[in-house]
Amino acid sequence: MTEQRAVRADFDSASIVVYQAYSASIAEPALAAQRFVAPFSFGRMTWIKPSFLWLMHRSNWARKPGQERILAVRISRHAWDGVLARAVPTTSDPDRLAAAEVHVQWDPERSLRGAALNHYSIQIGVGRTLVREFAEEWVVGITDMTPTVRRVADLVRGGRAAQARPLMPPERDYPVPKATARRLGMD
């Protein structure tokens, strides 16, 4: 049985992958530097999502303007665990949320064809005070997923979802400490 709210992600012992969609003007310099650099905005919240399919829904498979490039951003687990420990759900008291460095939001997970599922995926909003740290210290690698995204989207649109599935990033339940999970509404 799938947990109603769980962090499902591609991770290893040292890092976790989160996904973001950008224009080529932001993606190209980030890929070249293997971290975020200008014109990436260091002055506003950035949202990171460990669910590949949720981002595909959000970016319309890299077809939304300004979201034509899909990046798999590998960050350290130490940083990720720290982000979760500081996260405040967007459903919290407005004053508490306004003061939070990190926001967490739960949205319906998506199927390969884009249908809303009956369980939720986490999104993390990294606040302005942490964005530079995210961009310059947490990132351990950036991969351009755009060619894979286009291939999977073409297969799904062509009625060949079974051929698309093996191209998907592996995602499994991420071990969130009980106290953090409780605070984030995962219990």
> What is the pairing mode between strands 102-110 and 15-22?
unpaired
pLDDT in tens, 71-124: 999 999 999 999 999 999 999 999 999 999 999 999 999 999 999 999 999 999
**Per-residue pLDDT reduced to its tens digit, 156-185:** 999 999 999 999 999 999 999 999 999 999
Q: Is the pTM of this model over 0.85?
A: yes
Q: Please give the pLDDT value at position 1.
A: 53
Query: 94 versus 3: which is more confidently predicted?
Result: 94
Question: Using a CB cutoff of 8 Å and minimum separation of 24, what contacts does 52-55 make?
Answer: 52/10, 52/19, 52/145, 52/168, 52/169, 52/171, 53/109, 53/110, 53/111, 53/112, 53/121, 53/168, 54/107, 54/109, 54/110, 54/121, 54/123, 55/19, 55/20, 55/21
What's the pLDDT at 2?
64
